[in-house]
Amino acid sequence: MSANKQGPGLVESLRLAAVARRFYEQGASKLEIADEFGISRFKVARMLDTARESGIVKVEFHLPAPVDLALSEEVRTAYRLDRVLVLERAAEPESREVARRKIGTLAARLLTEIITPGDVLGLAWARSVNAMTDAIRSLPKCPVVQLCGVQAGMDMRDRSVETVSRVASVSGGQAYPIFGPLVLPDRRTTETLRRQPGIAETFGQFKNLTKAVVSIGAWKPEESTVYDALDEPERIAIAKRGAKAEVSARLFDADGTPMSTGLAHHVLAISAEDLLAVPEVIALGYTAPKAEAIDAVLRSGMVSTLITDAAAAIPLLELAEARPLS
């Protein structure tokens, strides 16, 4: 076997290491290194590649959060998103509650960095969003707007009114709550409540939203707040029409197209049109059972940032490969 196939010898390895040290550790440009070593900058580039390929140089990333960089970039590229944060795989199997807390903590860290005093922040109800608000310690002053009503029977701490109030108290901005149920018995009741001054004021803020944090639900048992709030016949009827995902009580089919169903007329929630108009939407969606729902919502074009876990990210990549975005 030739020396080349065995890798560089000692002399060449030292030369490669010297070039790599100047570039990676000392910040010299390729042109500067070329002048110092009496070679072309193209030769410098080839030497840097060889140093990495042969293992002389190993590049490691140390992020300030438990994020799987490779998976994050693959999902971001596949769905053409601005950002994707995929939680690192845990060494041992974790409960959904633990995953939710980690997702929430990651979202809190991101939100703290990207919110500005000029923003109007919308928050959907979701346990993952609540986990995020529990982890927020500081936030620039900005209005905080509730995106949907309260699911009946929820513990007070898990209700979206309390979530909005907590974030507004941290921010010091004005809170715009929705004091009303998420799902109502009929269209007339829904329209009556929407006209009430406090709720009407909140709905009026939807057009001003600059950022929103939402959760992605799948149209299946225990994977969507709205699904679990409906009776069985309505769940089945909506499923037969092709519903795959739910965001703030708005439904999407497998292609990411917003769906018009009877549900739209008896929920207190932001419209799909208003959601799609928000400049930056951060979506929290995780676990393997939600992969198809996440895929559907990402196809809608609504989401700019996805925060997820490896359990969802891996099947997401398979779905994107099977049906690439056009």
Over residues 158-186, the pLDDT tens digits come to: 455 788 999 999 999 999 999 888 888 88
Lowest model confidence (mean pLDDT) among 54-63, 111-120, 300-309:
54-63
Fold match between domain 10-54 and domain 69-322: no
Q: Assign 210 a pLDDT band (cuts: 50, 70, 90).
A: very high
Residue-range domain boundaries for the chain: 10-54, 69-322
pTM (predicted TM-score): 0.81
Asked if residues 120 and 207 have their Cβ atoms less than 8 Å apart, the reply is: no
DSSP-assigned states of every residue in 220-232: STTS-HHHHHS-H
Q: Bridge-partner residues for 183, per DSSP? A: 267
Q: Quote the pLDDT of residue 64.
A: 62
Distance between CA atoms of residues 235 and 226, nearest Å: 9
Distance between CA atoms of residues 315 and 326, nearest Å: 19
Distance between CA atoms of residues 321 and 326, nearest Å: 12
Mean of pLDDT values over 47-66: 82
Statement: residue 3 has pLDDT above 50 = no
Q: Quote the pLDDT of residue 160.
A: 56
Distance between CA atoms of residues 255 and 325, nearest Å: 10
Element (H, E) at 280: strand 280-284
Lowest model confidence (mean pLDDT) among 123-132, 154-163, 217-226:
154-163
What integer best gives the mean pLDDT of the chain? 90
Q: Quote the pLDDT of residue 155.
A: 44
CATH topology of domain 10-54: Arc Repressor Mutant, subunit A (1.10.10)
Q: Quote the pLDDT of residue 145.
A: 97
Statement: residue 124 has pLDDT above 70 = yes
Statement: residue 5 has pLDDT above 60 = no
Q: How many residues does the chain have?
A: 326
For residue 15 the two structure tokens come to: 């030369």
Asked if residues 244 and 218 have their Cβ atoms less than 8 Å apart, the reply is: yes
Helix (H), strand (E) counts: the chain: 15, 10
Task: Give the CATH number of domain 69-322; options: 3.40.50.1360, 1.20.1250.20, 3.30.70.100, 3.30.70.120.
Answer: 3.40.50.1360
Q: What is the DSSP letter of 187?
A: H
